[in-house]
Amino acid sequence: MSSSALISTSSVPSLPYLIRYILRTGETVKFLYQEPVAQAKIDSSRAGETIRRIICDKRKRRALCKAMRSCFQWADETVNLFCDYGDSFYFTTESGFPADGGLVLFENTYDGHKGLCYQVCT
């Protein structure tokens, strides 16, 4: 990735001067920047009952938020969530790839601590 993509030229008076300064002094520069991640559009209108039940439990709510952030990183996709058994979900996609699957709640142990997480199963 080029440095011009990392630094906004409006906030730096002279970008070439900054690059020459960094090269001359050998300083390391860290940028607070993350590449945007492709996200699918998620239609949860048919899963309202399960979501209302989940948001009342702090651990399950946190697990669902992490899953919504990290599990459906599919560009130009629409995911339709449906209620399934317990606090898990069934989903379909408009493109048909994957055609359907599940967002399943698991209880795992990380470094000796019990935790909840959702995983996509297709």
CA distance readout (Å), 72 to 12, 77, 99, 103? 36, 9, 14, 10
Q: What is the dihedral of CA 11, 12, 15, 19, to 10 degrees?
A: -120
| Three-class secondary structure of residue 6 per DSSP | helix
Task: Report the pLDDT value the prediction gives residue 4, as an integer from 0 to 100.
Answer: 43
Structural domain boundaries in the chain: 1-35, 41-121
59-85 pLDDT, tens digit per residue, is 999 999 999 988 888 888 999 999 999
Please give the single-letter amino acid code of residue 116. Answer: L
Q: Which residues pair with 113 in a beta bridge?
A: 110
Please report the DSSP string for 7-68 in residue order: S-TTTSS-HHHHHHHHHHHT--------PPPP--EEEEEETHHHHHHHTTSHHHHHHHHHHH
Instruction: For 79, list phi and psi in degrees, rounded to 5.
Output: -110, 125
9-58 pLDDT, tens digit per residue, is 444 445 555 566 666 666 666 666 666 778 899 999 999 999 999 999 99
Task: Report the pLDDT value the prediction gives residue 9, as an integer from 0 to 100.
Answer: 44
| Higher per-residue confidence, 114 vs 17 | 114
Say how far residue 70 (Cα) sits from the centre of its chain: 3
Q: Full-prediction pTM beyond 0.75?
A: no
